[in-house]
Amino acid sequence: MNTNASRNGPLLLNVEDREGARYVKSSILQRAGFSVIEASTGQAALSLVRQHAPALVLLALELPDISGFEVCRRLKTDPILARTPVLLTSPALASSVQRVQALECGADSFIAEPSEPEELVASIHSLLRLCQAEDAYHRTSQALHDNEDMFRQLAESLVDVVWLLDARERRLLFVSPRLAELCGQSPESLLEAPQRCLDRVIPSDRARVASAFTAMLGDGRLDIEFQLMHADGGIREIRARAFPLHRAGTSALRVAGTCQDVTTQNRARRTLRGEEHRKEQFLAMLAHELRNPLAPMRSAVDLLEQPAPTPADMFRARDVIGRQLRHLAQLVDDLLDIARFNQGTITLRQDLVELRGALNTAVESVRPVLEAQRHTLRLALPEQPLPVRGDMVRLTQIFSNLLHNAAAYTPAGGQISIGATTVDGRVAVRIHDNGMGLTGPLQRLLFDPLAPMESGEPGTENGAGGASDTAGTHPAVLEGPGIGLTLVQQLVRLHGGSVRAESPGPGEGSTFIVELPVEPWQNWHPADTMTPRPSGPPRVIMVVDDNTDALEAMSMALRTLGHTVVTAADGESAVARAPQVKPDVVLLDLGMPAMDGYETARRLRALPEMRGATLVALTGYGRPEDRRRALEAGFDRHLVKPASLDALTRLFEEPGG
């Protein structure tokens, strides 16, 4: 046995027990460029194959221990050695019986001796080429199997459905399980009959989808959205896309595609577009609501700017400006309240309130409006108390807004009534007017200024009735229901109640019904009558504001109350004058240029002469964080513009005010 071999070419194992024949074969093989190792027995041959893994075994049939047939059989039955090619050589192989035995034991080829050196070398080269081809085939097959396995794992892990189609044979080659989930069919059944997926498409989309898929069989391209009946019975919005896969050297067309469930994305997109539209509607409604009080105020100012207005005109203009200013301030307060509701920062007092008192207060607040419109008001309330748990101010606000709404949308000389009844532990307050009325489909819009109309409802572009259906409709609906009604609904809900609107139709009037839970009457104890609050002494007040009109108007109002007023147009002037004036109270605007109100307050607090003074922040910002920031800057109080004289008087009467 000789294992010394040059490693220039492929390694061959020469198995021959005859020394002369073995030498001749090895010499021929080495001259042909092969590396050769030798064995003279079958057991040695098996050991060398395991040890060196030769590229080919040249195996003699006659061996001293076991035959070449047995060596070949053992090699081919060993999983590790089975792919080693074997070339049997023997004079006996000239007979057909021996050749059959050689093939049955697993030999890859055979050659009868004596043979020409060229024939031997050519046979070996042929077997090696065949072995290399088989190796390449196995590697390609394994790579293809690995790639297919990776493709399946990837396709099955994706949220989107993946599929592969033979366009010519109209046969699905692969479909990920998620398509079966959508269609309610097993992958096997879909592979057999792909058209079953079409049965799940909703009828209105079926013809369009079928046409698109037919076109895809021609060019392999597809991009379409449609609705599909899901296996759970719901409707899904699907986007199907495909692209062609052309195999090199063939005209066969395969198509790869995906099906994506875009239900959530489409709904979010529609919601976003709807929100944008609702925002535009809200801004238009807000502009309308704000212009309503500004228009009469503009007219009143024009009247006062005339060369010689009469005293009567001046008093009338003053009244108009006062009423509309209160209206404008109420609109801003309502808008801020809605923002607080949306942020979850609004809170209610939980007192035991006599609802009749809230109704009477609301009536008094809107009486000037009722009288100006010459409306007749009927109030029918039960004699027994109507105790409810809640906030007296907010309850009054609810009914004031509803009465304002009724008065605004009832023609002059109309009739408005308020009634209350109790049933099953709840009190129902009905505010009825004989005004413009409401169409049925539009009643739901009253309490949401951002609610869009449904397609097909009267008053929308696609509505069957067209614009004529909105004739005589409540203007609050046509232009937006307004901030006040939205606030009403939210306040009522915070009190554990509900509000709704009823109307027989346009021109038939409207009824707003508020239902609230009532407390047992035994729990009701009327509150003691409050004693009038004495007015405080005159104060020295410094007013600081860069707005000249605001500064002058506030100064005149405070002087009419008997206070001494000193003014400053900016923060620097206020800090400079404060040590000489020594004001009791400083009303300080926050939004000033150069030195804002926060910095001015900090500098005033640093002055020894200002240690006992009360600093009041006047600002248009009324959020909780705005109040917190003002207090951190050294302010004692925080008032939101426009501040009424009543609010200022109460502030001056407080201890330290």
How do residues 345-362 score in pLDDT, each as one tens digit?
667 778 888 888 888 878
pLDDT at 567: 92
As a whole number of angstroms, the distance between CA 540 and CA 585 comes to 7
Assigned domain for 648 exists: yes
Q: What's the mean pLDDT in 416-430?
A: 90
Task: Give per-residue pLDDT as tens, 616-656.
Answer: 988 776 667 778 888 888 888 888 777 777 777 777 776 55
Token pair, residue 274, equals: 């709807």
Q: How confident is the model at residue 146 (pLDDT cuts 50, 70, 90)?
A: low
Task: Give per-residue pLDDT as tens, 439-469.
Answer: 776 666 677 655 544 433 333 333 333 333 3
Strand bridging mode 35-39 / 415-423 = unpaired
Asked if residue 490 and residue 363 are part of one domain, the reply reads yes
Asked if residue 446 and residue 313 are part of one domain, the reply reads no
Residue 511 is part of a domain; what is its CATH number? 3.30.565.10
How does the average pLDDT of the chain come out, rounded? 79
Cβ proximity of 29 and 43 under 8 Å:
no
Cβ proximity of 429 and 418 under 8 Å:
yes
Nearest to 279 by CA among 451, 446, 444: 451
- Residue that is last in its domain, among 214, 238, 261: 261
As a whole number of angstroms, the distance between CA 360 and CA 513 comes to 17
Strand bridging mode 351-354 / 387-390 = antiparallel
As a whole number of angstroms, the distance between CA 122 and CA 101 comes to 23
In this structure, what DSSP letter does residue 612 have? T
Count structural domains, the chain. 5
Q: How confident is the model at residue 482 (pLDDT cuts 50, 70, 90)?
A: low
Asked if residue 22 and residue 132 are part of one domain, the reply reads yes
Token pair, residue 55, equals: 């590229």
| Cα angle 186, 187, 190; round to 5 | 90
Nearest to 486 by CA among 623, 341, 281: 341
Strand bridging mode 426-433 / 415-423 = antiparallel
Helix (H, G, I), strand (E, B), or coil: what is residue 634? coil
Inform me whether the pLDDT recorded for 596 exceeds 70: yes
Least confident of 243-252, 257-266, 360-369, 506-515: 243-252
Asked if residue 126 and residue 44 are part of one domain, the reply reads yes
Assigned domain for 37 exists: yes
| pTM more than 0.85 | no
What dihedral angle (degrees, nearest 10) is formed by the CA atoms of 27, 32, 37, 42? -80
Beta bridge partners of 14: 38, 58
Using CA atoms, how far residue 421 sits from 267, 403, 430, in Å, is 44, 18, 9
Assigned domain for 411 exists: yes
Least confident of 274-283, 297-306, 585-594: 274-283
Element (H, E) at 495: none
Asked if residue 472 and residue 363 are part of one domain, the reply reads yes
Task: Give per-residue pLDDT as tens, 484-542.
Answer: 787 788 889 888 999 998 888 888 899 999 999 987 655 555 444 344 444 468 889 99
Using CA atoms, how far residue 487 sits from 398, 571, 624, 642, 656, in Å, is 8, 38, 19, 21, 35
Cβ proximity of 238 and 198 under 8 Å:
no
Q: What's the mean pLDDT in 284-295?
A: 69
More confident residue, 532 or 119: 119
Using CA atoms, how far residue 546 sits from 412, 467, 567, 589, 635, in Å, is 43, 50, 10, 8, 19
Beta bridge partners of 566: 542
Token pair, residue 460, equals: 């929308």
Instruction: State the first-to-last Cα distance of the chain, in angstroms, to the nearest integer.
Output: 119
Q: What's the mean pLDDT in 556-583?
A: 89
Asked if residue 198 and residue 297 are part of one domain, the reply reads no
Token pair, residue 109, equals: 């080829």
As a whole number of angstroms, the distance between CA 349 and CA 395 comes to 11
Residue 593 is part of a domain; what is its CATH number? 3.40.50.2300
Asked if residue 620 and residue 558 are part of one domain, the reply reads yes
Asked if residue 251 and residue 283 are part of one domain, the reply reads no
Cβ proximity of 544 and 568 under 8 Å:
yes
Inform me whether the pLDDT recorded for 150 exceeds 70: no
As a whole number of angstroms, the distance between CA 155 and CA 162 comes to 6
Give 198-206 contacts, CB < 8 A, sequence gap 24+. Answer: 200/228, 200/229, 200/230, 201/226, 201/227, 201/228, 201/229, 202/226, 202/227, 202/228, 202/229, 202/235
pLDDT at 516: 93
Residue 296 is part of a domain; what is its CATH number? 1.10.287.130
Residue with tokens 């729990």: 523
Helix (H, G, I), strand (E, B), or coil: what is residue 100? helix
Assigned domain for 269 exists: no
Inform me whether the pLDDT recorded for 170 exceeds 60: yes
Q: What's the mean pLDDT in 243-249?
A: 71
Cβ proximity of 572 and 526 under 8 Å:
no
Token pair, residue 644, equals: 């009424």
Assigned domain for 309 exists: yes
Task: Give per-residue pLDDT as tens, 532-557.
Answer: 444 468 889 999 988 887 788 788 88
pLDDT at 94: 61
Q: What's the mean pLDDT in 184-213?
A: 79
Assigned domain for 217 exists: yes
More confident residue, 265 or 139: 265
Asked if residue 381 and residue 516 are part of one domain, the reply reads yes
Residues in contact with 297: Cβ distance below 8 Å, sequence separation at least 6, in sequence order: 320, 321, 324, 325, 328
Asked if residue 257 and residue 170 are part of one domain, the reply reads yes
Residues in contact with 316: Cβ distance below 8 Å, sequence separation at least 6, in sequence order: 300, 303
Asked if residue 225 and residue 121 are part of one domain, the reply reads no
Inform me whether the pLDDT recorded for 7 exceeds 80: no
Asked if residue 171 and residue 64 are part of one domain, the reply reads no
Inform me whether the pLDDT recorded for 183 exceeds 60: yes
pLDDT at 442: 64
pLDDT at 586: 92
Assigned domain for 148 exists: no
**Strands, sheet with 498-502, edge to edge from the N-terminal-most edge strand:** 376-380, 415-423, 426-433, 510-517, 498-502
178: containing domain: 158-261
Task: Give per-residue pLDDT as tens, 51-105.
Answer: 998 999 998 888 999 988 899 999 888 888 888 898 888 886 667 777 788 878 8
